[in-house]
Structures are given as C-alpha cells and as structure tokens.
C-alpha cells in the first residue's frame, strides 16, 4: 500500500535545482514565458506589493524588483531563501526584498492582514499533498483588484508526453510509480480540475499560457540546440489552441470573481 502524499520541501537541494532546472533549456523557456506574460505588471507606474510563494532562488521576481516594486520572497526551504538573498544582493536588489522561510500554510500568520497587488505561485501546488487547499490561502493574500500568477504542472501534458515516448505501462498505471522520484512533481493537475477548483473558490482566469508546448515533445535531442528558434516558436504559439493546452506547465493569470 503506497504512503499518502505529503508536502515536499527542497531544503538541501538548492545546487541541484540551480543546475538541473534553472540553468537548462526548459528552465530558460519557463522564465522567458513568465517574463513575457507578466511584463505589463513589471512596468506598472503604481508601486506594487508582490508576494512570491515558493519563490526558489527568486529569478522571476527580480523583474519586479528592478522596476522598483517591493517583493516578499518566501519558500518552505531555508536554503532556498538564503540562496535567493545572496542572488539578489549580488544583483544589487536586496533593498527591494523581504524574506520569509515558511510554507504557504503559515504565511497568513507571518503577514497578518496584508494583501498583495501581485501573488506569484509558480510550480508549487503540484508538490502539495492537497493542492486545492492552497487556493483559498492564495485568495486570502490577494488584494481585491490584484493578480494571481499561477503556474502548475499539467497532468494532461504529462500523459501526452509519456504516450509520445511509448511509456504505455506508465500511462495505464494512471501515471503512478512504486518509488517516488524526489524531483518529479507528485501531484500534477489537470486543467479541467483546476478550472473547477477556481470556480468553486470564486476565482476567475483572465489569461492562459502554455509553458513548453513543444520542447518536451522533441524526439530529436539536437533540436534543443537551436534554442533561440525554439524559444521564438514557443512564444509565438503558446497562447493559441491547441498548443497552449499541451504546455508541460500552465501559466494562468487569475483575479477575484466576486
């Protein structure tokens, strides 16, 4: 009998994340897509309060800091928070940041009644034992006219990729393995499921983007070496049907519906 899922922390894995995720082509595509999608917020003339939930080493939030917005950087792993602080200090941006090492569930206690113009929650929910439980917490932290930038691991795309690569047994096993791979998300979320959750919690999607709509389906490893061309095509098609739905991650911009 498999053990029930638990929330996952990456304390002690900072270097592995930096090398295997942030420094790779897939990590660069992810960052480029998020920066394109959120550019209008970066350049807002109004000073924004930004909360980065599970912010890792804080690469994406630097764009807010560079434009003079204040960012509260949080992560469940103290190692990640410390590395983010070093990263931001090296970039000369430390004055724009406050740091909190805590899980999402504890943030309301740390932040009291504070509400944020922008809440970033990227690649976090799929590591939680109960992903849906994060949504009311994120809504609670979001200002009534604020924007939630939510990126989650797409179960439909994971299924499609495994079919493309012939992993039929894995698909028939409902994408379950006997032994958990620590750096593989434990709770991929189907977009239809996320849509239902958001409706239940009175949250509304204003924009949808697929992240890595093509990269993760490449059968020729050499194709990834033509990175700039690949990136151009990802950015060209990743908000267009049917390609957006095939993104390994989904980036949705969300606001209050009530």
User: Strands (DSSP E) along the chain, which ranges?
Assistant: 49-53, 70-75, 97-101, 116-122, 142-153, 203-211, 249-256
C-alpha–C-alpha distance, residues 81 and 76, integer Å:
8
Read off the pLDDT of each residue in 220-240 and give the average, rounded to a whole number.
Answer: 91
> What integer pLDDT is reported at residue 204 of this predicted model?
98
Beta-carbon contacts of 94 under 8 Å, excluding residues fewer than 6 positions away, are 85, 88
- 71/49 Cα distance (integer angstroms): 6
Alpha helices (runs of H) in 76-154, residue ranges in sequence order: 78-90, 107-111, 134-141
User: Residue 119's beta-bridge partner residues?
Assistant: 51, 148
Instruction: Indicate the angle between helix axes 25-42 and 227-237, nearest 10 degrees.
Output: 50
CB 107 within 8 A of CB 53: yes
190-229 pLDDT, tens digit each: 999 999 999 999 999 999 999 999 999 998 877 878 999 9
Query: Is the pLDDT higher at 117 or at 18?
Result: 117
- Specify whether the CB–CB gap between 11 and 79 falls below 8 A: yes
Q: Do 206 and 176 contact (CB within 8 A), yes or no?
A: no
Q: Annotated binding residue at 73? A: no
Q: How many CB atoms lie within 10 A of CB 216?
A: 20
> Is there a binding annotation on residue 30?
yes
CA pair distance 128, 187, nearest whole angstrom: 7
What length does the chain have? Answer: 258
In the structure, what pLDDT confidence band is assigned to residue 141 with cuts at 50, 70 and 90?
Answer: very high
The two three-digit tokens of residue 74, written as one number: 């949080």
Query: Is 166 labelled as part of a ligand binding site?
Result: no
Q: 21 versus 89: which is more confidently predicted?
A: 89
User: What was the pLDDT predicted at 4?
Assistant: 46
- For the domain with range 14-256, which CATH number is right: 3.40.30.10, 3.30.465.10, 3.30.365.10, 3.40.50.150? 3.40.50.150
* CA–CA separation, 252 and 9 (whole Å): 24
Task: Please choose, from the candidates 161, 133, 171, 182, the residue with its C-alpha nearest in 3D space to the C-alpha of residue 12.
Answer: 182
pLDDT reported for residue 20: 56
- pLDDT tier at 51 (50, 70, 90 boundaries)? very high
Model confidence pLDDT, tens digit, residues 68-83:
999 999 999 999 999 9
Q: What is the pLDDT of residues 147-192, one digit of tens each?
A: 999 999 999 999 999 999 999 999 999 998 766 555 678 789 999 9
Q: Are 198 and 204 in contact (CB under 8 A)?
A: yes
Looking at residue 21, its pLDDT comes to 64
* Domain ranges across the chain: 14-256
Taking Cα atoms as reference points, which of 250, 229, 228 lies closest to residue 239?
A: 250
What predicted TM-score, i.e. pTM, was given to this entire model? Answer: 0.91
- Tell me how far apart the alpha carbons of residues 59 and 196 are, in angstroms, rounded to a whole number: 30
């Amino acid at each position: 009998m498999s053990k029930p899922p638990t929330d996952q922390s990456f304390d002690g894995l900072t270097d592995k994340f930096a090398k295997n995720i942030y420094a790779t082509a897939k990590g660069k595509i992810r960052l480029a897509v998020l920066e394109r999608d959120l550019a209008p917020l970066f350049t807002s003339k109004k000073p924004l309060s930004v909360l980065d939930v599970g912010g890792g080493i804080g690469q994406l939030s630097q764009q807010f800091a560079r434009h003079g917005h204040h960012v509260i950087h949080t992560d469940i792993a103290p190692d990640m928070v410390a590395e983010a602080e070093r990263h931001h200090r090296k970039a000369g941006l430390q004055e724009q940041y406050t740091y909190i090492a805590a899980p999402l569930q504890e943030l309301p206690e740390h932040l009291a009644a504070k509400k944020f113009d922008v809440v970033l929650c990227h690649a976090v929910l799929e590591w939680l034992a109960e992903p849906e439980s994060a949504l009311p917490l994120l809504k609670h932290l979001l200002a009534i006219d604020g924007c939630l930038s939510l990126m989650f691991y797409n179960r439909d795309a994971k299924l499609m990729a495994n079919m493309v690569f012939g992993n039929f047994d894995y698909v028939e096993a409902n994408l379950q393995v006997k032994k958990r791979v620590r750096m593989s998300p434990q709770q991929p979320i189907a977009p239809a499921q996320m849509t239902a959750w958001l409706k239940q919690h009175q949250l509304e999607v204003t924009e949808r983007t697929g992240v890595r709509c093509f990269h993760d389906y490449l059968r020729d490893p050499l194709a990834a070496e033509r990175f700039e061309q690949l990136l151009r095509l990802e950015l060209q098609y990743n908000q267009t049907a049917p390609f957006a739905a095939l993104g390994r991650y989904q980036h949705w911009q969300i606001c209050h519906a009530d």
